[in-house]
Structure 1
């Protein structure tokens, strides 16, 4: 399984620049000019299996990338939704403070007493903090801040979520 470094968003300007939603804490080295990054796109989309970073910049807090293979806005539009990935064979950083989305998705979610309350179905990267996306046992989707105080334990097969009283009930009320 590949590690997602970023997801390409919309084109920016006319010269092939694209916005990206980062999933890495080290974009400066991961996306340095000249770096070749692997891609994951929809089959038949025509997106190359690898792209070479031509330039990077930050505009109003948003990372923008330009690729040597993409000369214009039309080419950039075709990249929308493509994931820039680190192949599984590449070494992962030994970082006790961070988690990859693919390592979390599918884990059981338990309360502090050990009772299963759901399953991790995603991770949303936010500007202030990330959020775990949880599918509760009754099928309702809930979002929980992914901070140590609320998610004190991440183990190989489960996470413990010490949610504030009533948090999950708020999501259930929204579906009734």
Structure 2
């Protein structure tokens, strides 16, 4: 299984440096000087890291195979990929999309909510994309409070989402509004 280390962005300067959209939690190892990375599409690589640097806002790399701005521009959108290590699949510090896609999403009360379609890596946090049975998509922040359990062996992700996050569980359905009004001593 191939894992995406980064997606190459636009060139930075004139000497072939490119900005990376990182998808790895170990950039020092993956982008070490001399590292050779396969690419998707395959005909864009392999690429050899000459130098990598991190600034406050981004990670930049120069590849031996792209030493000028024109060559760097031709790499825009290329994915840097590596073969999955077996020990990475057992790492509890994070999840890769291939480990989660296809798992059944189950509510803590046992209801089926749908199927995991993707894991999006956003700047603030990762988000699970769940395809609901009716085809709608829900996005659930991948935090312990909302995703208390992930069990790949059982094929499930257990969720405790707030009402309204899923189309099948609206926040303001008529029944709950009527119940709330009656509980408060008012009329429905």
RMSD: 2.2
The runs of at least 4 aligned residues of structure 1 exceeding 3 Å deviation read 90-94
Q: 1:47 aligns with which of 40, 44, 56?
A: 44
Deviation at 1:67, TM superposition (A): 0.4
Deviation at 1:19, TM superposition (A): 1.6
What SS does the corresponding residue of 1:168 show, helix, strand or coil? Answer: coil
> Relative CO higher for 1 or 2, CA cutoff 8 Å, sep ≥ 6?
1
Higher Rg? 2
Greater share of residues in helix: 2
Once the two structures are superposed, what CA deviation does each residue of 1:75-114 show, in whole Å capped at 9, x if it has no partner?
22222222211214x4433421211111111211111122
Is the 8 Å Cα contact of residues 136 and 167 (structure 2) preserved in structure 1? no
Deviation at 1:159, TM superposition (A): 0.6
Unaligned residue ranges in structure 1 (runs of 5+)? none
TM-score (norm 2): 0.80
Deviation at 1:154, TM superposition (A): 0.8
Counterpart check, 1:121 vs 2:103: no
Match of 2:157 in 1: 159
CA distance in 1, matches of 2:9, 2:73: 9
Once the two structures are superposed, what CA deviation does each residue of 1:139-173 show, in whole Å capped at 9, x if it has no partner?
12221110111011111112111111112249x9x
CA distance in 2, matches of 1:120, 1:10: 31
What SS does the corresponding residue of 1:92 show, helix, strand or coil? Answer: helix
Match of 2:100 in 1: 104
CA distance in 2, matches of 1:117, 1:153: 14
